[in-house]
Amino acid sequence: MVEAIILPLVKIVIVLVAVLVTVMYIVLLERKVQAWVQVRLGPMRVGPHGILQPLADVLKLFVKEDITPVKADKWVFTAAPIIVLVPALIAFAVIPFGKTVTLFGTTMPGYIADVNVGLLYIVSVAGIGIYGIILGGWSSNSKYPLLASLRASAQLISYEIAVTMTLVTVIMLSGTLSMVGIVDAQLAKGWWFGFMQPVAFAIYFIGGLAETNRAPFDLPEAEQELVAGFHTEYSGMRFAFYFLAEYANMIVVSTVATTLFLGGWLAPFPNVPALSLLGLVPGWAWFILKTFLFLYVFLWVRATLPRYRYDQLMRLGWKWLIPLAILNVVVTGLLKVLV
Amino acid sequence: MVEAVAFYSLAALILGFGVLVVTAKSTVHSVLFLVADFLCVAALYVTLQAQFLAVIQVMVYAGGIVVLYLFVVMLVNLKRPPEAHSDPRRMGRLGLVMAAAVMVELVAIFALGWSKPEVTGGGGLSPNNVEQLGRLLYQDYLIPFEVASVLLLVAMIGAIVLAKREL
Amino acid sequence: MITITHYMVLSAALFTLGVIGVMTRRNIIIILMSIELMLNAVNINFIAFSYHLQNAIGQVFAVFVIVVAAAEAAVGLGIILAFYRNKETVNIDEMSLMRW
């Protein structure tokens, strides 16, 4: 009774706090990485080397005035940032951080819940997040946000198809939809699925960039194009929610990629006895390392690639990624039957 | 006990949101209440051990079909404000009379015990819901499955042709 | 103790709400949404019976109902858009071109 309720609650609190702190520090990391790529230093004033910059950002967003446009639909205007943030956070309920985690002396499973349709749960929850973008733009009752929100949501639903197709190939390899089951399947097969399915990995990464509105697919929120996109009219805490939601989505995409393609909590080369030293590092440390590797590539890509125009973006999604993903499913199916 | 609490609260939410869908003034609010309704129905499916159906309901219905509705509502409301589309809601009294009649009927069903479906044997629901559904769809019900995919193809082509500007 | 009758009553009530929506509202998009409510009511019935009779056929059929609902929503909304482009209205009282 206590175990069934208290332990998951503790895990939920830990995961939520960890995610929120990580989001704040990824904002700082992004600014620093971009700065170093551009041969400058980034935030350096607040705290040593700018370490306390996120606290300053949070404080600023808290005390800013919350403006609501006069003719905006008040309820929807208030609800839209919440509709964007909640799916980004509840997706963490099925992400396996490790097989077992030892905390305060008790050993417990390293995930909040092992749903037998875990992967589909994450996909469906990501689909709900689209509403926040559409409604945010529409409820602002102003031209630029509406256009930007329609563009952004069209982009999201287009790339959702390609991403879901790549997930189908992973499910074909692992035989189960449960996230823990997928990592166990990678252990059983001896290969991480990123090596068995390089095309799916690449398409998932590109689709993940597009799903989170990150460069080079960040036209909907580019400052030079549409003022500030669908969150033009938002300020203060509500803008902070959109911001949080975008970075939390980035973390969800990275953790899902780690679980599906990079072996989750598995150490590299788990079947080679000579490297069993790597097994001394706990599973969740490997997980966090791989996730940060993925996140770093996100930031790296932003600093490097120029932005796609909207029609180029849609053409890439519909005419290249979706046929490629479907072809990948067919080839994987054929190989499974013939080999 | 937990089952009863879950059922009654979900049923109240489903019916409440349903009433709001049908009676809301603004079309966008109707669509939003429809989304909330579908999410509550998905939660109901989870309590009925149909986890795959629950995520499919959220993914396809709430995350796909209703987004389509929202897009069309916005495209229709683009040039003029929503108040310009008048909706005098005629036959409101007929609606109330019908609702009252059906409510009386339902209370009769419930109270007099006229419906007592016999629990006959089936195959049994396996805890691995997805695998069981997959086997059924690909072995016993393959032909309806293929027909459904052809239906979706036809609907896709039809929707593109209907909504294009020039062909 | 939740029996199958509870689920049948819920499904019937939701179906009635859908029917009322179709009959009383004039905005065609709301009418299509009420049809979706009706389809959901049917789905609830299928899933509830599948659970109580312990037979997975109900869930298979619910999948097919969702497929048909998706197809119908797409085509229906395409028709609405095509009509709106011609007549600039979504009030079904004004969609009476083919009436006697």
Residue B133 has its nearest CB partner, among C34, C55, C60, at: C60
Q: Any idea which residue has 């049994």 for tokens? A: B124
Q: What residues in A contact B32, CB-CB < 8 Å?
A: 76, 79, 131, 135
The answer to whether C95 and B87 have CB atoms below 8 angstroms apart is: no
Question: Testing the interface with A: which of B30, B58, B132, B138 to mutate, by most A Cβ within 10 A?
Answer: B58
What percent of chain B lies above the pLDDT cut of 70? 83
Question: Testing the interface with A: which of B52, B60, B130, B135 to mutate, by most A Cβ within 10 A?
Answer: B130
* B152 to chain C, closest Cα gap in Å: 6
**Residue B7 — pLDDT band, cuts 50, 70, 90?**
very high
Residue A309 DSSP symbol: P
The whole-number pLDDT of residue A274 equals 66
Decide if C59 and B148 are in contact by the 8 Å CB cutoff: no
Helix (H), strand (E) counts: chain A: 12, 2
Is the pLDDT confidence value at C36 over 90? Answer: yes
Query: Tokens in use for A157?
Result: 């639903």
Q: Which of A76-85, A219-228, A326-335, C15-24 has the lowest mean pLDDT?
A: A219-228
CA distance C22 to B74: 21
For chain B, the domains span 1-82, 129-167
Decide if C73 and B56 are in contact by the 8 Å CB cutoff: no
For chain A, the domains span 2-338
Q: What residues in B contact A116, CB-CB < 8 Å?
A: 51, 127-130
Q: Is omega for the bond preceding A323 within 30 degrees of 0, making it cis?
A: no
Query: Tokens in use for A166?
Result: 């790549």
* B167 to chain C, closest Cα gap in Å: 13
Residue A73 DSSP symbol: -
Question: Testing the interface with C: which of B29, B41, B66, B114 to mutate, by most C Cβ within 10 A?
Answer: B41
The whole-number pLDDT of residue A191 equals 83
Chains A and B touch (3+ CB pairs under 8 A): yes
CA C9 to chain centre: 17
C-alpha distances out from residue A239 to A20, A72, A78, A79, A244, Å: 15, 16, 11, 12, 9
The chains in contact with chain C, meaning 3 or more Cβ pairs closer than 8 Å, are B
CA distance B3 to A322: 42
* C35 to chain B, closest Cα gap in Å: 11
**pLDDT tens string A232-277:** 777 778 888 888 899 999 999 999 999 999 988 888 876 666 666 6
What are the backbone angles phi and psi of residue B120, rounded to the nearest 5°? -90, 165
The chains in contact with chain A, meaning 3 or more Cβ pairs closer than 8 Å, are B
What contacts A293, CB < 8 A, 6 or more positions away? Answer: none
The whole-number pLDDT of residue C6 equals 87
Residue C63 has its nearest CB partner, among B19, B56, B119, at: B56
* B58 to chain A, closest Cα gap in Å: 6
**In b/e form, how buried is each residue of B133-153, taking b as 16+ CB within 10 angstroms?**
beebbeeebeebbeebeebee
Relative orientation angle of helices A118-139 and A237-261, to the nearest 10 degrees: 150
Q: Any idea which residue has 């819920």 for tokens? A: C10
Decide if C9 and B106 are in contact by the 8 Å CB cutoff: yes
CB distance from C52 to chain B under 8 Å?
A: yes
- Count other C-beta atoms under 10 Å from residue A325's C-beta: 23
Residue A52 burial (CB < 10 Å; 0-12/13-18/19+)? middle
- The H-or-E segment that residue A132 falls in is helix A118-139
Is the pLDDT confidence value at B37 over 70? Answer: yes
For chain C, the domains span 4-94
Q: Mean pLDDT across chain A, nearest whole number?
A: 86
In the CATH hierarchy, which top-level class contains the domain B1-82?
mainly alpha
Decide if B63 and A124 are in contact by the 8 Å CB cutoff: yes
Q: What residues in C contact B75, CB-CB < 8 Å?
A: 81, 84
User: In B, residues 36-75, which contact C (CB 8 Å cutoff)?
Assistant: 37-38, 41, 44-45, 48-50, 52-53, 56-57, 60-61, 64-65, 68-69, 72-73, 75
Closest CA in chain B for residue A142: B78
* Secondary structure of residue A250 in the 3-state scheme: helix
CA distance B40 to B42: 5
Decide if B56 and A177 are in contact by the 8 Å CB cutoff: no
C-alpha distances out from residue C22 to B95, B128, C69, C78, Å: 10, 38, 16, 19
What type of residue sits at position A196? Answer: M
CB distance from C22 to chain B under 8 Å?
A: no
* A51 to chain B, closest Cα gap in Å: 39
The answer to whether A127 and A160 have CB atoms below 8 angstroms apart is: yes
For chains A and B, CB pairs below 8 A equal 66
CA distance A83 to A76: 10
The whole-number pLDDT of residue B89 equals 60
Closest CA in chain C for residue B166: C82
Query: Tokens in use for A250?
Result: 């980035």
Q: What residues in B contact A153, CB-CB < 8 Å?
A: 67, 71
* Secondary structure of residue A106 in the 3-state scheme: strand
The answer to whether B30 and C24 have CB atoms below 8 angstroms apart is: no
Decide if C67 and B152 are in contact by the 8 Å CB cutoff: yes
C-alpha distances out from residue B134 to A165, B92, B130, C43, C59, Å: 17, 45, 6, 19, 11
ipTM: 0.92
The whole-number pLDDT of residue B58 equals 95
Is the pLDDT confidence value at A1 over 80? Answer: no
Decide if A128 and B74 are in contact by the 8 Å CB cutoff: no
What type of residue sits at position A91? Answer: A
Q: Give a three-class secondary structure readout of chain C.
A: CCCHHHHHHHHHHHHHHHHHHHHHCCEHHHHHHHHHHHHHHHHHHHHHHHHHCCCCHHHHHHHHHHHHHHHHHHHHHHHHHHHHHHHCCCEHHHCCCCCC
**pLDDT tens string A271-294:** 666 666 666 777 788 899 999 999
Decide if C33 and B21 are in contact by the 8 Å CB cutoff: yes
Query: Tokens in use for A23?
Result: 């989001």
**pLDDT tens string B43-86:** 999 999 899 999 999 999 999 999 999 999 888 876 665 555 55
What type of residue sits at position A57? Answer: D
Report chain A's terminal Cα–Cα distance, integer Å: 48
Question: Testing the interface with B: which of A1, A5, A124 to mutate, by most B Cβ within 10 A?
Answer: A124
What contacts B165, CB < 8 A, 6 or more positions away? Answer: none
What are the backbone angles phi and psi of residue A100, rounded to the nearest 5°? -135, 145
Is the pLDDT confidence value at A201 over 90? Answer: yes
List residues in chain A touching B: CB distance below 8 A.
Answer: 73, 75-76, 79, 115-117, 120-121, 123-125, 127-128, 130-131, 134-135, 138, 146, 150, 153, 157, 177
What type of residue sits at position A198? Answer: P
- Average pLDDT (C36-59) is 92
The whole-number pLDDT of residue B142 equals 94
Residue A157 has its nearest CB partner, among B29, B32, B67, at: B67
CA distance A64 to A239: 10
Q: Is omega for the bond preceding A43 within 30 degrees of 0, making it cis?
A: no
Query: Tokens in use for B161?
Result: 């042709």
- Average pLDDT (B4-14) is 94
Is the pLDDT confidence value at B34 over 90? Answer: yes
In the CATH hierarchy, which top-level class contains the domain C4-94?
mainly alpha
Q: Mean pLDDT across chain B, nearest whole number?
A: 84
The whole-number pLDDT of residue B143 equals 95
Report the predicted TM-score, pTM, of the whole model to 2 decimal places: 0.91
